[in-house]
C-alpha cells in the first residue's frame, strides 16, 4: 500500500531542515494560527493545544495526507516562556533563564486526512543554561538568534555556547523530537524516510526511550 503524502504545517526552517536531514519527503503548508500563550498553564497541555490547532489548520482543504503540527514552549521554575516580542523582551527572557535548568517541551500532532484521526505526543528535554553576563545576553540578542524562538534562544546540533548541558532529545531542542516523529510516522501511517538511516547527531549519543523520549546527554561548547 502506498503511504499517504506528508505535510509540514509550519514555516520553521529548523523543523523543515530536521525532516530533510532525516530523509523525509514532504510539502510545507505554512499556517497562520493564533497561539495560546499562558505563562501559568501546564506546558504539555499548552503545547498540545497549539500543535493540534496547527495540524488542523494545515489539513483544511486537503483531500488526503498526513499533516504535522508542532509547538514548543520553554518551562522554567513554574513559568512558561514563549517567543520574545522584541529585542528588549528577548534580553529579559535570557536574563531570567541564565544559569538555570529549564525544560524544552514540544508537542507534535499528526493528523490524517480524510479520516481526521490524530496522534499527539509530548516530549520534554532538560536544558541547563550557562550563567550569562549582561554583555553576553546583549551580544546574543544583537546577533538575531533570539527572535522567533521559544525562550529567546536556539541551539544547533553541533553545540551552543549558551548551553552547559542537555539531557534528553537534542533534536527536540533544535525544533522537533525526531525520535518520536520517526517512530510514530512509521508505526501509525507507514511513512518512512526516502533514504534510510538516522543522521549522526554531533555531541550527543541518543537512543530511543519510552514514549519516544530519547535518552542521552549533550555538553555545549566550552
The residues annotated with a catalytic role in the active site are 71
- Contacting residues for 20 by C-beta, under 8 A, at least 6 apart: none
Torsion of CA 64, 105, 32, 113, to 10 degrees: 10
In the chain, helix, strand, coil percent, each to 5? 30, 25, 40
Side-chain half-sphere CA neighbours of 11 within 13 A: 5
CB atoms near residue 27 (< 10 Å): 12
Other Cβ atoms less than 10 A from the Cβ of 135: the count is 8
Question: What contacts 188, CB < 8 A, 6 or more positions away?
Answer: 110, 119
Whether the bond into 194 is cis, omega within 30 of 0: no
CB 26 within 8 A of CB 10: no
Phi, psi (deg, nearest 5) at residue 118: -125, 145
Rounded to whole angstroms, the Cα distance separating 6 from 188 reads 13
Amino acid at each position: 500500500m502506498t503511504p499517504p503524502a506528508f505535510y509540514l504545517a509550519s514555516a520553521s526552517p529548523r523543523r523543515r531542515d530536521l525532516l530533510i536531514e532525516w530523509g523525509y519527503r514532504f510539502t510545507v503548508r505554512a499556517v497562520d494560527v493564533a497561539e495560546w500563550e499562558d505563562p501559568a498553564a501546564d506546558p504539555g497541555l499548552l503545547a498540545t493545544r497549539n500543535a493540534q490547532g496547527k495540524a488542523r489548520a494545515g489539513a483544511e482543504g486537503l483531500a488526503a495526507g498526513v499533516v504535522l503540527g508542532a509547538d514548543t514552549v520553554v518551562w522554567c521554575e513554574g513559568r512558561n516562556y514563549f517567543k520574545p516580542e522584541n529585542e528588549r523582551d528577548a534580553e529579559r527572557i535570557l536574563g531570567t533563564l541564565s544559569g538555570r535548568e529549564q525544560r524544552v517541551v514540544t508537542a507534535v500532532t499528526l493528523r490524517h486526512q480524510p479520516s481526521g484521526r490524530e496522534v499527539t505526543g509530548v516530549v520534554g528535554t532538560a536544558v541547563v543554561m550557562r550563567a550569562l553576563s549582561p554583555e553576553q545576553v546583549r551580544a546574543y540578542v544583537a546577533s538575531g538568534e533570539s527572535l522567533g524562538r521559544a525562550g529567546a534562544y536556539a541551539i544547533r546540533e553541533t553545540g551552543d555556547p549558551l548551553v552547559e548541558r542537555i539531557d534528553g532529545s537534542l533534536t527536540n531542542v533544535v525544533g522537533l523530537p525526531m525520535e518520536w516523529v520517526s517512530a510514530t510516522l512509521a508505526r501509525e501511517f507507514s511513512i518512512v524516510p526516502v533514504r534510510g538511516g538516522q543522521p549522526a547527531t554531533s555531541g550527543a549519543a541518543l537512543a530511543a526511550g519510552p514514549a519516544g523520549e530519547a535518552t542521552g546527554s549533550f555538553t555545549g561548547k566550552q
